Structure 1
């Protein structure tokens, strides 16, 4: 199950705009799809000719992009069987104290500005289905936003909310503040969150939205938010410009000797503000 084509805009073909070869742009889009479970953990890539038509490039360009994926261990090419996704086990996540995170999330709605790029109700992609504990045929609200600080974009967000919750607010509401604030305004008390950190590369679509070059390294965070009853109410993927966003965590022992952490994030010129960019 997918949340719609990721490469639904033409590749950037003008060297004056983004001096990145077409094969590498295709490679970045396919890599992002694989990492987000777009083709399934043990699925296969579409045929080269099908991908060539989708991206409006030659089959040779697609083949070179797939060869790079194979060299990175993301896919396996088999004669007569197509290109198979290589299943990779993800590392377990580290729990973090939610208190400082909540403060940053609410403060973010005041200090930064959001722009909604896409909004609607879709069938959940595999990761959102799993994290939100919803059925494959159950619609969820999906929103794509860019957050800016002092007019400079610093994060690209794709959020998913269960349909019965998402119907309580509109695209305009998503432009006005943080999703965390909207959830609480609708009577949902946030109790905890789990998040995983990784790295990603900017594909053409994301690079254009964030004002960076294709292939720019980005900080990636996947976060699932739960209410006080332990039910998932939001799953979000966030990509951050590392030149404008920094995530720091202070770790300390409690009275029982166990470690606890207090997360904090900074965003902006010189990273001089607190934010967790939601």
Structure 2
């Protein structure tokens, strides 16, 4: 990235960090920088504009929040890859089918795929007895070779049994279930902000404490029986969720919001 001719205007009503933010954006556009290209470091920006590290960090933090830059500890600041819109919250489509529809590719590292027993949270979600047999599927999902999400799926034993011998590294779980006559027709999903634990950060290739989007879902078949419960943690710097809105009553409902 070449040096910018513009300077910080200390007499402007605009905060210095916001001026710097705009200068960085203009520099990216002017120099034709691409995702992954490096940007000037904090020390260079301080020296170039005669500003404090606090101002620089405010500008970079805002750009990172907007998804325009990516800061990697020990490596520097880079032009960020664009976040990919996902409609997983308001549809029953899975990540595999969502990405495939837009021409991308998903593959998974299957971390765990075995029988287990339902703890209290799983039993409540699947409406089964505490300690009842379930099939647990834990996967690290990649989109176009980038670590994207870490998900754990629980299924009642008779549902999950049809998946145990399947290779789910390059396949859709929902399609596999449908091939055995098990189809989700409705359900409830929620999304909330959280931060990465040390283990999640290692799996997803981010720093501990990085922003994640936590997706929780229970899917039911036509009889109303829960057939799947999953919790997925998506990298906040790789994805954003889109919601389809309608003013028609019944098309969408806010079911419950609390601070827990």
TM-score normalised over the length of structure 2: 0.57
Whether 1:260 and 2:251 are equivalent positions in the alignment is: yes
The residue that corresponds to 1:125 in the other structure is 119
Alpha-carbon deviations, 1:16-58, whole Å to 9, x = none? Answer: xxxxxxxxxxxxxxxxxxxxxxxxxxxxxxxxxxxxxxxxxxx
> Residue 251 of structure 1 contacts residue 259 of structure 1 at CA under 8 Å; is this kept in 2?
no
CA distance in 1, matches of 2:169, 2:145: 15
CA distance in 2, matches of 1:104, 1:172: 18
* Aligned ranges 1:168-247 → 2 under 5 Å: 168-170=162-164, 172-247=166-241
CA distance in 1, matches of 2:105, 2:224: 29
CA distance in 2, matches of 1:156, 1:186: 25
SS where residue 253 of structure 1 aligns?
A: coil
Aligned counterpart in structure 2 of residue 163 of structure 1, from 157, 165, 168:
157
> Residue 119 of structure 1 contacts residue 171 of structure 1 at CA under 8 Å; is this kept in 2?
no
Q: Gapped runs of 5+ residues in structure 2?
A: 1-86, 253-260
The residue that corresponds to 1:248 in the other structure is 242
> Residue 90 of structure 2 contacts residue 243 of structure 2 at CA under 8 Å; is this kept in 1?
no
> Residue 215 of structure 2 contacts residue 232 of structure 2 at CA under 8 Å; is this kept in 1?
yes
Whether 1:147 and 2:141 are equivalent positions in the alignment is: yes
Report the CA distance between 1:181 and its aligned residue: 1.5
CA distance in 2, matches of 1:99, 1:242: 18
The residue that corresponds to 2:128 in the other structure is 134
Report the CA distance between 1:176 and its aligned residue: 2.7
Report the CA distance between 1:99 and its aligned residue: 7.9
Q: Which of structures 1 and 2 has the bigger CA Rg? A: 2
SS where residue 141 of structure 2 aligns?
A: strand
Aligned length in residues: 164
> Residue 144 of structure 1 contacts residue 156 of structure 1 at CA under 8 Å; is this kept in 2?
yes
CA distance in 1, matches of 2:222, 2:243: 23
Report the CA distance between 1:105 and its aligned residue: 5.7
TM-score normalised over the length of structure 1: 0.54
CA distance in 2, matches of 1:143, 1:104: 15
Report the CA distance between 1:231 and its aligned residue: 0.5
Moved over 4 A (4+): 96-100
Q: Gapped runs of 5+ residues in structure 1?
A: 1-95, 262-278
The residue that corresponds to 1:79 in the other structure is none
> Residue 219 of structure 1 contacts residue 240 of structure 1 at CA under 8 Å; is this kept in 2?
yes
Structure 1 residues 216 and 119: alpha-carbon distance in aligned structure 2, compared to 1, 3 A threshold: same
Whether 1:112 and 2:106 are equivalent positions in the alignment is: yes
Structure 1 residues 244 and 106: alpha-carbon distance in aligned structure 2, compared to 1, 3 A threshold: same
CA RMSD between the two structures: 2.6
